[in-house]
């Protein structure tokens, strides 16, 4: 069976600012991640830097729709087309996001999805999927996720057990009907934060505004950026408001990747040092979001 065009040592361009799982998906295959810095306004891969990162060994570009924001751009698509590169989407955080009437997860050659319970489309336990409109690739993915078997008990390739179980699939099938409604609830919470908080908190870049940079966001995360991040997080916790950080240590600085620890990726490192994720979920009440915003205002006006 032809598994594709990649051989160990081939390179995949990945955003430096992402959850480590995006990068592990590359390294697990014996491929080499080439990190590209994010745009400070959006926190998403900076498409103006991608072409310079391409080498004769580059085979694919992975974009990550981080925080629920669509990372796909015409420019990225064009670069992939011109250089014969596959475009892979990490859609773990952006279920339901629509860009020019097309859902994320259908914008590239293939997309990875996580249905971890806290995701916008979450199962009751771990689950995930790959989407693609390439039938041959779909066959390969199905086979790899079932020990590489095809037909049963015949393995031409070494696969793994990565099947979604039926109960999770059934739950997701029902929850899918409510995804747009749930995402609208997230948007309503995001609107409250956007109205109540000063715009400069939305981004390390002073000219960015909360929503105009990300009209298609489904707000998996509502990030703010502040030099006082750790003190603010402690204060909010003492006031009963739980927050999170996405992510405190960028992949290239993780100890599991000593080969990348020397890299200097200042935009990514700045985001990691200043990002704070505010409470957001379809279950959060508007009054809960207002209380959180008031406490943030109280802290920054002190």
Cβ nearer to ligand PLP, comparing 93 with 243: 93
Number of shown-chain residues binding ligand PLP (CB under 6 A) = 12
DSSP 8-class letter at 213: T
Rounded Cα distance between 302 and 284, Å, is 27
Kindly state whether residue 104 participates in binding ligand PLP, applying the rule CB under 6 A.
Answer: no
Kindly state whether residue 90 participates in binding ligand PLP, applying the rule CB under 6 A.
Answer: yes
Rounded Cα distance between 36 and 155, Å, is 37
- Which of 148, 145, 140, 136 lies closest to 164 in space, CA to CA? 145
Rounded Cα distance between 84 and 64, Å, is 20
Least distance (Å) between residue 277 CB and ligand PLP = 12
Rule CB under 6 A: which of 42-71 touch ligand PLP?
64
Kindly state whether residue 21 participates in binding ligand PLP, applying the rule CB under 6 A.
Answer: yes
Q: Which of 54, 57, 116, 245 binds ligand PLP (CB under 6 A)?
A: 116
Residue nearest to ligand PLP (CB): 114
Helices 286-301, 229-238: inter-axial angle, 10-degree rounding: 130
Kindly state whether residue 233 participates in binding ligand PLP, applying the rule CB under 6 A.
Answer: no
Question: Which helix (H) or strand (E) element contains residue 15?
Answer: strand 11-15
Kindly state whether residue 19 participates in binding ligand PLP, applying the rule CB under 6 A.
Answer: yes
Kindly state whether residue 18 participates in binding ligand PLP, applying the rule CB under 6 A.
Answer: yes
Kindly state whether residue 214 participates in binding ligand PLP, applying the rule CB under 6 A.
Answer: no
Rounded Cα distance between 15 and 250, Å, is 10
Least distance (Å) between residue 21 CB and ligand PLP = 3
Rounded Cα distance between 77 and 86, Å, is 9
For binding to ligand PLP (CB under 6 A), which residues are involved? 18-19, 21-22, 64, 90, 92-93, 114, 116, 126, 128
């Amino acid at each position: 069976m032809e598994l594709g065009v990649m051989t160990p040592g081939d390179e995949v361009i990945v955003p430096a600012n992402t959850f480590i799982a995006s990068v592990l998906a590359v390294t697990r295959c014996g491929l080499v991640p080439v990190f590209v810095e994010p745009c400070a306004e959006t926190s998403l891969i900076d498409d103006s830097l991608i072409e310079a990162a391409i080498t004769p060994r580059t085979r694919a570009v992975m974009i990550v729709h981080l925080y629920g924001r669509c990372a796909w751009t015409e420019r990225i698509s064009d670069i992939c087309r011109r250089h014969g590169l596959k475009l892979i989407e990490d859609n773990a955080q952006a279920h339901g996001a629509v860009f020019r009437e097309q859902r994320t997860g259908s914008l590239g050659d293939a997309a990875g999805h996580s249905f971890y319970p806290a995701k916008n489309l979450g199962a009751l336990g771990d689950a995930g999927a790959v989407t693609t409109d390439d039938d041959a690739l779909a066959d390969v993915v199905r086979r790899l996720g079932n020990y590489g078997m095809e037909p049963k008990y015949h393995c031409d390739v070494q696969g793994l057990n990565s099947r979604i179980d039926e109960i999770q699939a059934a739950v997701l099938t029902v929850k899918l009907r409510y995804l747009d409604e749930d995402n609208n609830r997230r948007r309503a919470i995001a609107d409250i934060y956007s109205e109540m908080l000063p715009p400069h908190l939305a981004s390390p870049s002073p000219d960015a505004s909360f929503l105009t940079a990300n009209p298609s966001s489904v707000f998996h995360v509502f990030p703010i950026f502040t030099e006082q991040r750790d003190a603010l997080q402690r204060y909010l916790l003492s006031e009963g408001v739980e927050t999170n950080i996405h992510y405190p240590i960028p992949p290239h600085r993780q100890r599991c990747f000593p080969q990348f620890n020397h890299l200097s990726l200042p935009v990514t490192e700045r985001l990691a040092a200043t990002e704070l994720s505010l409470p957001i979920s379809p279950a959060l009440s508007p009054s809960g979001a207002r209380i959180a915003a008031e406490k943030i205002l109280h802290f920054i006006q002190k």
